[in-house]
Structures are given as structure tokens and as C-alpha cells.
Structure 1
Amino acid sequence: MIAFLVLVGLILLVMINVPIAVAIGVVSLLGMLATGSFDSVYNMALSVFDGASNFSLLAIPLFILAGALMNTGGISVRLINFVNALIGFVRGGLAMVNVGVSMIFAEISGSSVADVAALGSILIPAMKKRKYTAAFSAAVTSSSASLAVIIPPSLPMIIYGAMADVSISKLFIAGLAAGGIASIGMFIVCYYYAVKYNLPREEAFSLRKLCSSFKEAFWALTLPAIILGGIISGFTTPTEAAGLAVLLALLIGFFIYKELSFSALYKALVESVNGTSVVMLLVATSAVLGLFLTEQEVPQQMASAILGVSDNKYIVLMMLNVMLFVIGMFLHGAAAIILVVPIVMPLITQLGIDPIHFGIILTLNIAIGQQTPPVASVLITASSIAKKDIWSVTKDNVWFIFVLFITLMAVTYIPALTVGMVDLLY
């Protein structure tokens, strides 16, 4: 009963805008005191330290910094110009450019909020000038930004891998197929809207312009190639790949594009420190919550309750998807992972569900949660840039959310889509 009250209290504190890390720490401490777990209270500092000291988590600040450097070093603009030259000539091509650039940006930053903030400030005004509605411009920018948590390197995958003790490299590889399915679906939705509303084409296709933009973007395109190539080949760990991404972003920004100044570097460092501190404090306090839930045997009780309904793993996954969808509407991605993983992992293990498979399911639910109000952090950011309320944007965003849902169902019930690639490579 106390464990249930702790979880309810956590949700209530989050809904009244108490910082999530603070809310997690407070309810965990109160829960320990209420149950008389004084030994655990004495060990809280050690739990916090252990929760944040995992080597794999070092990739988080590095990927956040790499994304910030892309913004200030001229990399984002060159990627947009290249993708525009490649597919902009199609009807509604600027919307497709939005999706295409997000795919590339996702392979460097791993953060949806960074994606929508960086690309939205450029692409949403450009789309509005080309007679796209503000709501649709925000919708396609918001939904395509969520590819950053599906396509590696994904920050939620890093957190999940560290908490569930799962190979982050394998999670990244499994995410490629899910990201590919979602991206294709979004391209189709963009084309549907383009035909329905007679959206404009950009300039006619020009091989000369394509070659010129590719030459300009060549060094920017080396970033995702090196990150993914190094991880898939086993030459680098995700953390080492993140370090390489930062180093290359610095070299490209300072010495090749020469658009990265020391003042811009300082701004990028401050931005990445702010983003990292939020995530790492969440991860640290989550260790305390996990300790409390384990002592109260909440995972075991939940497993027994679900298995009392059905022991068919696909029915259980359906129930977990419903639970994750509801949680995703009210909690940010990192908080959702922190809340769910300690509770459900014993059940996942008991049913013989591949933790890699479940990790991609969890990640897709986070992507959907980023688009579904009331929290919807990515949707809110895109709506703010477009100067539209989130409900107007959601009307145009429904089909993009549907694409993410179809991807989730395909991944849930056809495990070979994700773990098949892992089995092939490993």
C-alpha cells in the first residue's frame, strides 16, 4: 500500500511541476521512512553515487554536447541544404526534408528536444514562408524529432541499457530497423498531405546543386557515419563514439567550416551542462527509488498480478504497452524509464522476453509520449516555435502519431524486426 502511495505521490508532484529528480528523491525518502527502512536511508548517498557512476552514462553529456556544437558550428544548415537538394524537388519536399534532416541529426545528438530546437528554428519559418500551415509545420517537425530517441545514438536507450544491464550497442543496432520503419511512414504521410493540400515543390532537381551541397555537407555527414560505423563494427563503444563525435564536431566547426567561435563554444558547453545535469540527477535519484521498490517487492507483486491475467508474453506486452502509453502522457522519457524498468524487468525476465526487444518497445512508447499531451515536451517546443497552441498542432500530428503506433505494433509482435538484426551481427 505504501509503495502504491509513493508512486501516486510521485505522479502528483510531477503534475504540479516539482522537478522530477526532486520528486523522485522526496517520495523515495518518505517511503523508506514510512516503512522503517532506516538502513536504506543511511545508504541513500551511496545509492545516488552508484546510480550516476556507470561508465556507459558518460555518453549522455558527450552526445548532448555534440548536438549543441552542431547547432553553433554550421553543421545543421549544411545538412538541411544537402537534404533539400536531394529530395526537395518532390511535391511537399520541404516537409520531407524536415524528416530527412531529423534522421541524420538523430544519428549525432540522440536527443529529440535538441533536434526540434535546432531544426525547428530554421525549418518551421521556412515552411511557413512556402505556404505550409503553421500547425502542419510544427507537427512534422515535432514528430520527426522523435526519431532521435529511436535511431541510435539514443539517450533513452543509454539510460535503459545502464539500468537494465543490457548492451547499449545491441540496443542501438535494434533501433535502426524501428527508426527506418517510422521514417518511411512519415515520408508517406508528408506526401499524402502534399497531394491533398497541393503543397509546393522546391526548386527543380539539379545535379550540380546536389553535388555542391554534398561537398559542403561532406564533413557533417562523416559524423553519423563514424558514430554508427564505429559502434556496429565493434571498433568503439557508444561512450567512445560519443567522444569522437564531440572531437569531430569541434574540428569541423573550428577548422573546416570556421563558424564555431569561442563564445559559441561557451554557449554550447553551458547548454550541454544544463541538459546533462537534469538527466544525470534523474538517473542518480532513480537508484534510490529502485532500491525502495525492490525492498517492498513491488516488481514481484506486479509480475504476479499480470501473470494472474495471462502468461502469454504477447498479451503481457500489450498490457505493458497500454501502461507505458499512459505513463508517457504524464512523464518525460527519462523519468518513465526510471519508473518502469525496476518494476517490469523481473517480469520481462520471467517470461523470457528479450530485454533488447523490450528496450525498443519502451523507446517507441517514449517517442509517442513526446507527442501526446499534456506533457509532450517535444510537441510543446515545436508549437512554441511555430506560435501555435498544442491542440491545433495535434490535429495535424495525429497521422504522424499513428505512424509511430504502427511501428510500435510491428516491433512488438514481430520481434525479428529488431532482434533479428542483432542476431545477424552478433
Structure 2
Amino acid sequence: MTALLIFIGLLGLILINVPIAVAICAVALVGMVAMSGELGLYNAALTLFDGATSFPLIAIPLFILAGALMNTGGISRRLIAFVSALIGFARGGLAMVNVGVSLFFAEISGSAVADVAAIGSVLIPAMKERRYKPAFAAAVTSSSASLAIIIPPSIPMILYGAMADTSIVQLFVAGVVPGLLGGFAMLCLCYWFARRYNLPREEAFSLPRLGKAAREAFWALLLPVIILGGIFGGIVTATEGAGLAVVAALLIGGLIYRELKLKELYNALVEGVTQTAVVMLLVATSAVLGLHLTEIELPQNLARAITEATSNKYVVLILLNILLLVMGMFLHGAAAIILVVPIVLPLIHAVGIDPVHFGIVLTLNLAIGQQTPPVASVLVTACSIAKTDIWETTKTNLPFIGVLLVMVLLVTYVPAVPMTLVEIFYR
């Protein structure tokens, strides 16, 4: 009964446009007072502070800042030019370039919204000029950006790893194969669209042009090697790797490319701080709600109820996938992670689901949520850049959402896809 009241109260506040972080904290505080009186509030302030100050979470603002610096320092533009020279000669090449650049950009920023803002502002207008429908341009940009959060480094994985006390590096490694498979599937889908709708070819392949683009993008291409090489090689932690990404983006954008002037640096800092504030406020308030849920033993009771009904982990995964898909439609990714993980963690341990495996399943479900209205944060960003209707874009986007859904099923029921590299290198 208490859990139902919490859910109704939270949903009601969200529906009347109360900010999600405020709604989470309000529901938790009311529950604490109802359960323990004013004494229940004494730990709220400390819990708010502790909830946002764990070492792994420092990676989130740093990766957000690194993405903003890439956007303003000329790094994104050079990545686009290189990928365009590499694969842009094919029919529908700009759509393929969009997917390819998303995969590169994701290896540095870890944020789907940052991906759309950086790539969409350049490629969507270019696609519209080349007779691509605005809805298609927005759909490709949006879906490839959401797929990219499965590729390391990934801010949702960092948040999940911190909340579930799971190795963030192992989560990063587990995301490599699913991310590359999904990227290849989207490239094939773009080619199918190109043949069906006779989309234009770009410039013919030119080895000198590719060589020039590669030379200009050398330092931009070196960024993923530095960051992921340091993390996977055990030289730096994920948090230290995020700091390394910021330093590298500053040096490359400011000293090598010389496009990161004081004004651009200021804008990047403002953008990074704004995005960080939203995420970290959610994290802090979720700690208060997590404390209250623990006090009323909701996660333990839920785990007990489901395990009494079934101990088959694949049946449990079906139920969790349905839950995550529905929550992803109505909540931003960070909020969904914050609300779901404390509740389902005892359950996944009880039925023997590997927390790293579940983290990849969770991340891909949230990637679909970024594409499905009414919230659809990444899709809305792409539509605003393309100046197209969200519902028209959603219709065009259905095949790309289908790719993401296939990846969810593959990762869920063929654990070897995400876990083989983890088993080889870490277990």
C-alpha cells in the first residue's frame, strides 16, 4: 500500500509539471514524516549530500564538459569530415555518416543529448539540403545517438554502476560488442532506405581527400584511444578517464586546432554546468527516496514476491524489460535509473542475474525510451534542430527503434553477446 501511494504521489507531481528531482524528494520526505515523524528528516540533508558525492559520479560532469568542449573546439566538425570522406560516397552516404560519427562521438562524450546537439546541428541541415526528408534526418540522428550510449564511455552506465556498486569498467567493456552490432545494423538500414527512396550519393571516394581529412582529424581520432585505452588498460579509473577527456579536449581544441577561444570556452562551461546540475540534483534527491524505500523494505518485499512466483531469471528479465520500456517512455534516463535500480537490485541478485549483464539491458531499454514519446528527450532535441513534427518523425523512426528493440532482445537472451569480453579480460 505504501509503495502504491509513493508511485501515485510521484506520478501526480510529474503530471502537473513539478520538476522530477523536486517530486522525488517531496514524496520521500512526506513518506519519512508519515513513517517516523520529524525525526525521519534528520538524515535527509546528509543523505542529499552523500548521494551526489561518490567518486564514480564525478565522471558524469567531466564527460558532459568534455562533450561540450568537443562541440565548440572544432573536434566534432573534423570527425564529421573524416567519416564523410570514409563512407560518404555510398548512396545515402550522409545518413551513414550520421551513424558513423555518432559512434565516434559517443566514445568521447558518453551523452546522447550531447551527440545530437553536436552532430545534428551540422548534419541535419546538410541532409535537408541534399533532399533528405527532415523527419528522416531527425530520426537517423536521434536513434544513432541513443544507440551510442551503449558504447563506452556511457553516462547512464556510470550512474548505474555507482548506484549498483558494480564495476563501471566492466560495464564499458560489455557495451562494446552490442554497440558495434547495433551500429552496423543501423548502417544497413540506412542503405536500405537509400535504395528504396533513391537518396543521393555524395562525392566519389577519393584517397587524397580521405588522407587530408584523416590528417586534420588525427588529434580528434586520438581522443577515444587516449580515454578508452587508459580506462581499459587499467591506467586510469573511469572518473580519471573523464578528467583526461576534459584536459585532452581543452588542449586539442585550444592549442592544436585553435578554435576554443575564451567565448567558446565560457559557452562550453555554461552548457556543461547546466546539464550537470539537472543530473546531479536527480542523483541527490534519489538518495533520499532510496533511504525511505529501504526503511519500508520495498525492494526486499518486491524481490520476495517475484521469486516466490518464479525463479526463472529469463522470465524475470521479460518482466523487467516491460517495466523499463514503460518507464523509459515517461522518465528521463537518469530518473529511470535512479528510481528502478534500488528497487530491482535485490531481485536480480536473488535470481542470479549478473549486475553487469543487467546494466547493459537497462541502458538499451533507456535508449529506446529516448526515442518514444511523450518524453523522448533525444528525439525532441533532434526534431527541434530539424524543425519537424515529433509524431511524423516517430513514424519514420520506427525501423530504427526496431533495431534497438532487437538489440535489447539479443543482449537479454544471449548473454554471451555483452559478457564474452568481460569474461575474457576480467573474470
Is TM more than 0.5 here? yes
1:279 aligned residue: 279
2:317 aligned residue: 317
TM-fit CA distance, 1:297? 1.1
TM-fit CA distance, 1:372? 0.5
Trace 1:59-98 onto structure 2 (pairs within 5 A).
Answer: 59-98=59-98
TM-fit CA distance, 1:131? 0.5
Trace 1:27-46 onto structure 2 (pairs within 5 A).
Answer: 27-36=27-36, 38-46=38-46
1:369 aligned residue: 369
Which amino acid in structure 2 is aligned with residue 131 of structure 1? R
1:7 aligned residue: 7
2:244 aligned residue: 244
2:143 aligned residue: 143
C-alpha contact 2:9 2:27 (8 A) present in aligned 1: yes
**Counterpart check, 1:130 vs 2:130:** yes
TM-score by length of 2: 0.98
2:295 aligned residue: 295
**Counterpart check, 1:344 vs 2:344:** yes
Identity of aligned residues (%): 66
Partner SS for 2:299: helix
Trace 1:151-166 onto structure 2 (pairs within 5 A).
Answer: 151-166=151-166
C-alpha contact 1:3 1:31 (8 A) present in aligned 2: no
More deviation, 282-291/35-44: 35-44
C-alpha contact 2:147 2:364 (8 A) present in aligned 1: no
TM-fit CA distance, 1:199? 0.5
Structure 1 residue runs without a partner (length 5+) = none
Instruction: Measure, in 2, the Cα distance between the counterparts of 1:357 and 1:408.
Output: 11
TM-fit CA distance, 1:11? 2.2
Instruction: Measure, in 2, the Cα distance between the counterparts of 1:56 and 1:70.
Output: 22
2:107 aligned residue: 107
1:253 aligned residue: 253
**Counterpart check, 1:205 vs 2:232:** no
Instruction: Measure, in 1, the Cα distance between the counterparts of 2:307 and 2:373.
Output: 31
Which amino acid in structure 1 is aligned with residue 414 of structure 2? I
Tell me how large the CA RMSD over aligned residues is. 1.0
Aligned length, in residue pairs: 426
Partner SS for 2:217: helix
C-alpha contact 2:33 2:39 (8 A) present in aligned 1: no
Q: Deviations over 1:72-99 (max 9, x none)?
A: 1001110000000000011111000000
TM-fit CA distance, 1:416? 1.2
TM-fit CA distance, 1:38? 4.1
2:191 aligned residue: 191
Instruction: Measure, in 2, the Cα distance between the counterparts of 1:16 and 1:229.
Output: 46
C-alpha contact 2:33 2:40 (8 A) present in aligned 1: no
More deviation, 399-408/302-311: 302-311
Q: Deviations over 1:104-162 (max 9, x none)?
A: 10011111111111111111000000100000000000001112321111111111000
C-alpha contact 1:321 1:365 (8 A) present in aligned 2: yes
Instruction: Measure, in 2, the Cα distance between the counterparts of 1:38 and 1:165.
Output: 30
Which amino acid in structure 1 is aligned with residue 131 of structure 2? K
Instruction: Measure, in 2, the Cα distance between the counterparts of 1:414 and 1:165.
Output: 24
Trace 1:222-241 onto structure 2 (pairs within 5 A).
Answer: 222-241=222-241
Instruction: Measure, in 2, the Cα distance between the counterparts of 1:417 and 1:28.
Output: 38
C-alpha contact 1:109 1:148 (8 A) present in aligned 2: no
TM-fit CA distance, 1:40? 3.2
Partner SS for 2:123: helix
C-alpha contact 1:124 1:134 (8 A) present in aligned 2: yes
C-alpha contact 2:108 2:153 (8 A) present in aligned 1: yes
Change in Cα spacing, 1:354 to 1:37, as seen in structure 2 (3 Å) is: farther
Partner SS for 1:35: helix
Which amino acid in structure 2 is aligned with residue 176 of structure 1? V
TM-fit CA distance, 1:207? 0.3
Instruction: Measure, in 1, the Cα distance between the counterparts of 2:12 and 2:70.
Output: 37
C-alpha contact 1:31 1:292 (8 A) present in aligned 2: yes
Change in Cα spacing, 1:54 to 1:171, as seen in structure 2 (3 Å) is: same
Instruction: Measure, in 2, the Cα distance between the counterparts of 1:53 and 1:303.
Output: 28
Which amino acid in structure 1 is aligned with residue 19 of structure 2? P
TM-fit CA distance, 1:32? 1.1
More deviation, 416-425/316-325: 416-425
Instruction: Measure, in 1, the Cα distance between the counterparts of 2:58 and 2:230.
Output: 17
Partner SS for 1:36: helix
Q: Deviations over 1:387-425 (max 9, x none)?
A: 111110011100000000000000000111112111111
Instruction: Measure, in 2, the Cα distance between the counterparts of 1:23 and 1:301.
Output: 24
TM-fit CA distance, 1:180? 1.1
Instruction: Measure, in 2, the Cα distance between the counterparts of 1:419 and 1:332.
Output: 26
Which amino acid in structure 1 is aligned with residue 327 of structure 2? I
Which amino acid in structure 2 is aligned with residue 197 of structure 1? Y
Instruction: Measure, in 2, the Cα distance between the counterparts of 1:9 and 1:402.
Output: 33
TM-fit CA distance, 1:37? 5.5
Q: Deviations over 1:11-42 (max 9, x none)?
A: 22223321111111101001111222544311
1:387 aligned residue: 387
TM-score by length of 1: 0.98
Instruction: Measure, in 2, the Cα distance between the counterparts of 1:150 and 1:38.
Output: 43
Instruction: Measure, in 1, the Cα distance between the counterparts of 2:202 and 2:17.
Output: 43
Which amino acid in structure 2 is aligned with residue 158 of structure 1? I
TM-fit CA distance, 1:304? 2.4
Partner SS for 2:89: coil
